[in-house]
């Protein structure tokens, strides 16, 4: 089983992704760490605790993380996408659980040192906690099994802005640090999540499975689905965060390339854009390519067998 830390900002699609991870025997979840993003850090933490309570997995520790990006301030989340509560305005009762006293970045460090070369960090929100962990303990980059994150857009438009994907846009400085570390890292970005659509009828089929967690997630998804039908004119929702676990379960469903990536950190039109260098920097000493020189390569998902991903998600969510 793959030892897993889930870093998350629930967020409605985070909730389905957590449900998918909990339902998948491939994973031994060591704990969850929370981060600002879709909602503020307090809501992200409360939502995570509540999801675990609904899943009857109160054994799993939740470590509260960053409330704002490395530079600048928290911009208030995206209530028009995820609801004011981050869960489709379902306003569930607060969880009876509390986070552990260890902050998220220290929990990540602790677990990676405890299980050298065995821990996979799956990040579903801004990469602030991972950047903070790296700055406190740079050695972890040589001790993780791998890092995988939902975020970025290598060869397609953004969603937060025409230029950038939301998680990168929320903390571009953290993203640039994390993508520059010498650890095995995979980007599951809009290049594949915008090709993976959970159709309305499929969500309806999933909602027929009766469990406290599934009932909540599929209820919350109504709000999320309404947004995408109205704004993106698609007949369902993009599968963002769950794609991370679909990749870990079956990497053969994805096509990847590997290039060094820089993230635009300036306050400009392209803020948060993930820029891959297509190998031209390997052999040429062009000054303009200096920002990518000696940067490690990132495994970038560029295509997906989306029908098989959707089938995988549906089977797992309805047969936990």
Among the listed ranges 171-179, 219-227, 231-239, 240-248, the one in contact with Ca ion (CB under 5 A) is 240-248
Q: Is 165 in the site for ligand RIB (CB under 6 A)?
A: yes
DSSP for 240-305, written as a single string: -THHHHHHHH-GGGEEEEEEEEEE--SSSTTTT-EEE--STTTT---GGGGGGTTPPEEEEEEEE-
User: Among 96, 38, 59, 71, which Cα is nearest to 224's?
Assistant: 38
Among the listed ranges 62-70, 89-97, 160-168, 269-277, the one in contact with ligand RIB (CB under 6 A) is 160-168
Fill in the per-residue mask, 225 to 244: x = in contact with ligand RIB (CB under 6 A), - = not in contact: ---------------xx---
Q: Give me the least distance between CB of 148 and ligand RIB, in Å please.
A: 12
Among the listed ranges 11-19, 173-181, 205-213, 222-230, the one in contact with ligand RIB (CB under 6 A) is 11-19
Among the listed ranges 59-67, 161-169, 211-219, 247-255, the one in contact with ligand RIB (CB under 6 A) is 161-169
Choose, by CB under 5 A, the member of 83, 99, 125, 260 that binds Ca ion.
125
How many of the other CB atoms lie within 10 Å of CB of 6? Answer: 29
Q: Is 13 in the site for ligand RIB (CB under 6 A)?
A: yes
Residue with tokens 């000054």: 287
Fill in the per-residue mask, 80 to 119: x = in contact with Ca ion (CB under 5 A), - = not in contact: ----------------------------------------
The single residue of 191, 194, 240, 305 carrying the catalytic annotation is 240
Choose, by CB under 6 A, the member of 4, 6, 7, 11 that binds ligand RIB.
11
Cα 30 to Cα 309: distance, rounded to the nearest angstrom? 25
Nearer to ligand RIB, 37 or 65 (CB): 37
How many of the other CB atoms lie within 10 Å of CB of 48? Answer: 29
Q: Is 166 in the site for ligand RIB (CB under 6 A)?
A: yes
Measured CA to CA in angstroms, residue 267 lies from 29, 71, 173 at distances of 37, 11, 11
Rounded to 10 degrees, the C-alpha dihedral 138/5/188/178 comes to -10
Residue 156 has phi, psi (to 5 degrees) of -145, 170
Q: Give me the least distance between CB of 49 and ligand RIB, in Å please.
A: 17
Q: Is the Cα torsion angle 123, 310, 21, 41 positive or negative in sign?
A: positive
Choose, by CB under 5 A, the member of 5, 6, 7, 14 that binds Ca ion.
14
Q: Is the Cα torsion angle 174, 141, 66, 299 positive or negative in sign?
A: positive
Q: Is 45 in the site for ligand RIB (CB under 6 A)?
A: no
Q: Is the Cα torsion angle 38, 42, 48, 51 positive or negative in sign?
A: negative
Q: Is 28 helix (H, G, I), strand (E, B) or coil?
A: strand
159 contact choice in Ca ion, ligand RIB, none (CB below 5 to 8 Å, kind-dependent): ligand RIB
Residues in the interface with ligand RIB (CB under 6 A) total 15
Cα 105 to Cα 261: distance, rounded to the nearest angstrom? 23
Q: Residue 57, Cα to own-chain centre: how many angstroms?
A: 20
Cα 314 to Cα 149: distance, rounded to the nearest angstrom? 21
Q: Is 11 in the site for Ca ion (CB under 5 A)?
A: yes
Residues in the site for Ca ion, rule: CB under 5 A? 9, 11, 14, 124-125, 241
Residues in the site for ligand RIB, rule: CB under 6 A? 9, 11, 13-14, 37-38, 124-125, 150, 159, 165-167, 240-241
Q: Which residues are catalytic?
A: 9, 240
């Amino acid at each position: 089983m793959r030892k897993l830390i889930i870093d998350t900002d629930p967020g409605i699609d985070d909730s389905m992704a957590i449900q998918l991870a909990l339902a998948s025997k491939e994973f031994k979840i060591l704990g969850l760490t929370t981060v600002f993003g879709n909602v503020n850090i307090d809501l992200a933490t409360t939502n995570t605790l509540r999801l675990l309570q609904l899943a009857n997995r109160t054994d799993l520790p939740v470590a509260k993380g960053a409330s704002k990006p490395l530079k600048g301030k928290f911009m208030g989340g995206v209530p028009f996408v995820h609801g004011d509560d981050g869960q489709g305005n379902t306003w569930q009762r607060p969880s009876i659980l509390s986070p552990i006293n260890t902050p998220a970045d220290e929990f990540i460090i602790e677990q990676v040192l405890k299980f050298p070369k065995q821990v996979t960090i799956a990040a579903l929100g801004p990469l602030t906690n991972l950047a903070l962990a790296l700055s406190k303990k740079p050695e972890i980059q040589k001790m993780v099994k791998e890092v995988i994150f939902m975020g970025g857009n290598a060869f397609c438009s953004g969603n937060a802005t025409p230029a950038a994907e939301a998680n990168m846009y929320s903390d571009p400085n953290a993203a640039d640090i994390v993508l520059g570390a010498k650890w095995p890292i995979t980007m599951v970005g809009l290049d594949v999540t915008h090709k993976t659509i959970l159709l309305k009828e499929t969500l309806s089929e999933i909602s027929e499975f009766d469990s406290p967690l599934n009932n909540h997630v599929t209820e919350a998804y109504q709000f999320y689905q309404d947004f995408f039908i109205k704004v993106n004119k698609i007949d369902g929702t993009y599968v963002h965060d769950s794609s991370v676990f679909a990749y870990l379960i079956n990497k053969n469903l994805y096509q990847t390339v590997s290039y060094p990536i820089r993230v635009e950190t300036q306050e400009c039109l392209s803020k948060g854009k993930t820029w891959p260098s297509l190998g031209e920097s390997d052999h040429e000493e062009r000054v303009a390519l200096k920002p990518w020189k000696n940067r490690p390569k990132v495994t970038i998902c560029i295509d997906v067998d989306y029908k098989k991903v959707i089938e995988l998600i549906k089977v797992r969510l309805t047969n936990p």
